[in-house]
Structure 1
Amino acid sequence: PIPIVHWDDGTCSALEEGELPLVLPEVQDYKPFSDGQSPLAKAENWLLVKDPKTGRTGRRETNTMPQWAGSCWYYLRFIDPHNQDRGWEAELEKAWMPVDLYVGGAEHAVLHLLYSRFWHKVLYDLGFVSTKEPFKRLFNQGMLVSYAYKNERGILIPLDEVEEDSSGTVRHKGDGEILERITAKMSKSLRNVITTDDTVEMYGADTLRMFLMFMGPLEAMKSWDSYAISGVYRFLKKAWNYVDSYLEGGCLDAVPEGQEQRSVTVLLHQTIKKVSDNLDGLRFNTVVSTLMEFLNGISNERVCRSTLEKFVLMLSPMAPHLAEDLWQRLGHTQSLAYEAWPEYDPAFLKQDVVTVVLQVNGKKRATLEVPVPISADALKAQIIEHMAGTNYQVSDGDKFITVFDSATKAPKLVNVIRSA
């Protein structure tokens, strides 16, 4: 309720601080009056008041504050939620504000984001907060859409009445009519809502969580594909089996600390840096692909126990349940949530040798390890020597197109266009 009293003499006043909070009365009938008055106007014992000091009478304000009145400053109350004397302590507000990241849909620009900024600026003008703006950074996540189907008359067909044959043609299960597939926002009206319960039942919550992050950039609109989720499920199963193979009863023994292959150590530290940077940048799809590349890179190698632990820690934001289970199976009694995030050693980010993919006329024909840095002439000479004696010999007269890694500036692919 709004703690204002409208007096019969035409004035109005706010309740004294000692009279707060103003508690809503019990109302039996919530239907508004025909003239639009609030249902609170029916609670006369609560509605009608008399000033004990002056004897004047009045009516309480019957309009109520909308839900925004609470949700517009909840981030401030989170700072000091148990304070019974005030909304928050000033020192705590100064220590915690402003909020580092605000994630919400684009529609928030004219809804919650707008309202909360308005409230915050009023609070700033009144001296209750120390920052002019409540949020440091805004991020608009993309929308998850799904397929919907309609017949030639434009009538929407429920998903459970649709089947797709081996050729990709979509038909109505009942009469076999060919249907048009469209992509649209999930809604009951389009009958294309995907229930997560079935997905979790089939693949588990971690698979669903990781798949949602892997579908594409967080800010992009993404189409749900029930078939594609199996790829993430296979990756998590592979991750589980690989770590489990080093545990008691497994078929592999961990390498003593400091004795694993240098290539494994280099890959680990490169992965830690990539995953850390991409998490900070909210590039979750790249986090997942980097973890997949790491697991592929060590699948045929022996690693030490600390490498397994760091891999599990990096996996935990994407697949918390599986990672927590693996962490305990690795012998830890405390949750990995309390563990420090892995750190990379910059010394291992400097590459002495890189593998270059060699293409001839646009098709991959070989790979070649070369030292870095390497000049264009030296790289060309090594490629010519490497391809000599094969069916794809190249010469100095051919055109060499080199693609470089954007981060390390090392060559990663050379396409040779052979002269006629």
Structure 2
Amino acid sequence: MERYNHKQIEKKWQDAWEEKGVFHASNDSEKPKFYPLVEFPYPSGHGLHVGHPRSYTALDIVARKRRLGGYNVLYPIGWDAFGLPTENYAIKHKIHPREVTKENIANFKRQLQSLGISFDWSREINTTDPNYYKWTQWIFIKLFEKGLAYKNKMPINWCNSCKVGLANEEVIQGKCERCGGEVVRKEKNQWMLKITEYADRLIDDLDTVNYIERVKIQQKNWIGRSYGMEIDFPVADTHLTVFTTRPDTIYGATYMVISPEHPIITEKASMIENLEEVMAYKEEAARKSEFERTEMSTEKTGVRIKGIPVINPLTKKEIPLFVSDYVLMTYGTGSIMAVPGHDTRDHEFAKAFDLPIVEVVSGGNVDEEAYTDIDSGTLVNSDIINGLDVKTAKEKISDYLESIGIGRKKVNYKLRDWVFSRQRYWGEPIPLVHCEKCGWVAIPESELPLTLPEVDSYEPTDDGESPLSKITDWVETTCPSCNGHAHRETDTMPQWAGSSWYFLRYADPSNNEQLASKEALDYWMPVDWYNGGMEHTTLHLLYSRFWHKVLYDVGAVSEVEPYSKRTSHGMILGENNEKMSKSRGNVVNPDDIVEEYGADTFRMYEMFIGDFEKSVPWSSQGIKGCRRFIERVWKLKDIIKAEDYYSKLVEVSVHKTIKKVTEDFETLKFNTAIAAMMSLVNEFYDAKGITKEDYKTLLILLNPVAPHVTEEIWSIMDFGGDLNEAKWPEHDESKLVEKTIEIPVQINGKVRGKIVVAADISKEDIIIMAKSDLIVKDMLDGKEIKKIIYVPGKILNIVV
């Protein structure tokens, strides 16, 4: 019996697939198209661990199934290769980031190819390739021309370790998402992208796509659209404007709070009696990240601003004004009316500073347990809206505030404009120059790509400026508008730039005249199914939707949304049930698994390990079980039978399995699909035989999960052509109903056993089945059969 040797089989078929271009998609096909997409990897020096391929394998299963189902499938891959980790590694080891990137990509590619994932390698892209980032720069110019890219001095999140500005989304619990270093607030001139201009569309268009609900909710919450009012509170000889979604609670506003960055501190400095104390607090707040400032569990701090009286415009009472870091200048107006009776943070602050707490919504308890988010109840202690329910009170007070000229209805967003520039070397150069006469001017498209110059040192500078700023002969240039003296922008784009449109380039990756041809984009877009991590929901996913909408507005694409469907997967944890990391010592290298057990076993276990959408721990024992199953499939060759009754015996199970596997592959229920195939294989062994047709069906169903071994068996059995050219099986609804019966087997009139057979089995077939039964076989051993009586569907009697 030929032994299953995964090392020989897998390399053989990987080479054959690529040589024949089996997985190369066509831009000119009469087949229906299917474009599945996974988030292209950042090629780090550590290589893949077993958690990374989970998403790739899942959509590979769907891609392979769809090809067998007659689809023209584009399943592409590339490299998100600009960014800080590579640059930091290069600095540490004193080599060029380009060389680090090249080595990392080679290793990642080797690993991915060893897993037999059916990527179309002919469309491989790399964000650091000038032929690619030429179009990233082109898109930036379009953003600039539309007024969506602007430079602004503002407080930003600054990573002291990376020496770079970060978007809010890149700060995780007060730490840099990339290096884990401390993040502080710092004022800096930065390029910004006006994503806020697209806030409504980014929310509203979620109704047009098939995203899992948790993705939609997370995007909506991050954008944070809220409807409310701006209300003016008299302050000295001016006013402070607040934004609130609960104007009905204005009678409960017993103090006001402003952000440490609020301009009134400077404007009214001469009136502030404790200015030194206020300024000291402002400096202290600047050392905190936005996360630290807004964390609910953080102790509330602040300073009362003395000398500036504030009036509640409806109660006419003077209320104290505080400065506190839990109020952000980047949200709303940078000042709030504090209603401690019905807001968590306000309540905590009022308790800390012994401030009045007034209940204005009945049922709105002011104890430590329940006093927030009062959306129902009756207004109390609220003059003109007393006794009204919340909804009616909101409408009445809003109309009243508008009528007296101190209130305006307003839509507000939590979403902030995207901080887009980095003071680092390893990124796309921003294709703009600054001219004293003309201001910021885009370079001509004919000069794209603007490539990175060679540098002696690409380390970040001590003053926080880009290393490019030191290269005088690159910086000094001519203004494209007036031919006068100009300076190039020396900041580079963040890593998110290249990943915000890469899915479009796959449609036409070699095009030198456009980011992709209209014909290719119209054929392939939108992406039919995009799977990725939940951690990218408010980063890449939001950013790329924004860029795509801009490209739609400038006529570069025909679809409003880039992705029709978005799903997400859970992590694979270490065997200790913790997140895999080198520091925890629980990382499993896929190379080791492929070497010992094979890629097919690895792929199967990744999908069989548990619910795809949930995190699950790795198990060394589980991987062994999947290997044993593949070996059982391999050995089915040894019990091939020609008799049709073997097929009839398992007919119902075969059709049930076809139906289940077909449905489960399309709904990410890979573990139950594999379990169904395992059960079917058990039935084949129980029947002690399998027909060629049933074997073919099993191999096709299993092929998307274990492509190498199934191709090899198909070839050995000479089933015709390659398996990847076969047709996906269809179940027959009429054969899903159980049609087997249990027949007693008698010998000389006494029941000696029972066999399960197809209801319409012939006399010839049931005799063969009876004789193969172990008990009956033993009792007939050495005896001469004189007569066989079969009453269809009732009994079989063998006379000896």
In the superposition, the TM-score normalised over structure 2's length comes to 0.38
Map of 2:570 onto structure 1 = 142
Residue 64 of structure 1 aligns to a residue whose secondary structure is: coil
Q: Offset of 1:309 from its aligned partner?
A: 1.3
Map of 2:437 onto structure 1 = 9
* Structure 2 residue corresponding to 1:344, chosen from 707, 711, 731: 731
* Structure 2 residue corresponding to 1:231, chosen from 618, 625, 636: 625
* Structure 2 residue corresponding to 1:217, chosen from 605, 611, 615: 611
Distance 1:253 1:36 in 2: 72
Q: What amino acid is the match of 1:298?
A: F
**Cα distance change, pair 53–308 in 1 and its aligned pair in 2 (3 A):** closer
Deviations along 1:232-253, one digit per CA (max 9) or x if unpaired, are: 111111111112x1xxxxxx45
Number of aligned residues? 319
Distance 1:49 1:323 in 2: 61
Correspondence list, 1:253-292, <5 A = 253-255=640-642, 260-292=646-678
Is residue 6–residue 13 contact of structure 1 (8 Å, CA) maintained in 2? Answer: yes
Map of 1:38 onto structure 2 = 466
State the superposition RMSD in angstroms: 2.6
**Cα distance change, pair 354–187 in 1 and its aligned pair in 2 (3 A):** farther
Q: What amino acid is the match of 1:145?
A: L
Correspondence list, 1:240-251, <5 A = 240-243=634-637, 245=638
Is residue 434–residue 488 contact of structure 2 (8 Å, CA) maintained in 1? Answer: yes
Is residue 8–residue 58 contact of structure 1 (8 Å, CA) maintained in 2? Answer: yes
* Structure 1 residue corresponding to 2:491, chosen from 58, 63, 82: 63
Distance 2:671 2:657 in 1: 14
Q: Flag the structure with larger Rg.
A: 2
Is residue 2:519 matched to residue 1:74?
Answer: no
Deviations along 1:60-100, one digit per CA (max 9) or x if unpaired, are: 11111122211111110101112111011223222221111
* Structure 2 residue corresponding to 1:87, chosen from 510, 515, 526: 515
Distance 1:52 1:286 in 2: 62
Is residue 444–residue 480 contact of structure 2 (8 Å, CA) maintained in 1? Answer: no
* Structure 2 residue corresponding to 1:21, chosen from 433, 449, 452: 449
Distance 2:575 2:657 in 1: 35
Correspondence list, 1:312-323, <5 A = 312-323=699-710
Residue 5 of structure 1 aligns to a residue whose secondary structure is: strand
Deviations along 1:96-152, one digit per CA (max 9) or x if unpaired, are: 21111111111011222121112112212222222222111211101111234xxxx
In the superposition, the TM-score normalised over structure 1's length comes to 0.70
Segments of 5+ residues of structure 1 without an aligned counterpart are 149-182, 246-251, 356-366, 373-420
Is residue 443–residue 480 contact of structure 2 (8 Å, CA) maintained in 1? Answer: no
Map of 2:126 onto structure 1 = none
Q: Offset of 1:200 from its aligned partner?
A: 2.6
Distance 2:669 2:651 in 1: 24
Is residue 264–residue 303 contact of structure 1 (8 Å, CA) maintained in 2? Answer: no
Is residue 207–residue 229 contact of structure 1 (8 Å, CA) maintained in 2? Answer: yes
Q: Offset of 1:52 from its aligned partner?
A: 7.6
Q: Offset of 1:285 from its aligned partner?
A: 0.2
Is residue 2:528 matched to residue 1:100?
Answer: yes
**Cα distance change, pair 232–56 in 1 and its aligned pair in 2 (3 A):** same
Is residue 38–residue 63 contact of structure 1 (8 Å, CA) maintained in 2? Answer: yes
**Cα distance change, pair 307–333 in 1 and its aligned pair in 2 (3 A):** closer
**Cα distance change, pair 319–58 in 1 and its aligned pair in 2 (3 A):** same
Is residue 2:584 matched to residue 1:126?
Answer: no
Q: What amino acid is the match of 1:203?
A: Y
Is residue 254–residue 303 contact of structure 1 (8 Å, CA) maintained in 2? Answer: yes
Deviations along 1:7-66, one digit per CA (max 9) or x if unpaired, are: 132512111122222122111111233322211122222211124884410001111112
**Cα distance change, pair 326–23 in 1 and its aligned pair in 2 (3 A):** same
Deviations along 1:153-197, one digit per CA (max 9) or x if unpaired, are: xxxxxxxxxxxxxxxxxxxxxxxxxxxxxx211112222222333
Residue 228 of structure 1 aligns to a residue whose secondary structure is: helix
Is residue 573–residue 580 contact of structure 2 (8 Å, CA) maintained in 1? Answer: yes
Bigger relative contact order, structure 1 or 2, given CA contacts below 8 A and separation 6+? 2
Q: What amino acid is the match of 1:26?
A: E
Residue 434 of structure 2 aligns to a residue whose secondary structure is: strand
Q: Offset of 1:337 from its aligned partner?
A: 2.0
Distance 1:293 1:218 in 2: 20
* Structure 1 residue corresponding to 2:696, chosen from 309, 315, 320: 309
* Structure 2 residue corresponding to 1:293, chosen from 679, 682, 688: 679
**Cα distance change, pair 77–52 in 1 and its aligned pair in 2 (3 A):** closer
**Cα distance change, pair 16–316 in 1 and its aligned pair in 2 (3 A):** same
Distance 1:221 1:79 in 2: 32
Q: Offset of 1:368 from its aligned partner?
A: 12
Q: Offset of 1:260 from its aligned partner?
A: 4.1
Distance 2:617 2:480 in 1: 65
Map of 1:208 onto structure 2 = 602
Which of 202-211 and 68-77 deviates more?
A: 202-211
Deviations along 1:250-281, one digit per CA (max 9) or x if unpaired, are: xx45316x664423222222211111111111
Distance 2:527 2:483 in 1: 47
Seq. identity, %: 42
Q: Offset of 1:294 from its aligned partner?
A: 0.7
Residue 621 of structure 2 aligns to a residue whose secondary structure is: coil
Q: What amino acid is the match of 2:541?
A: L
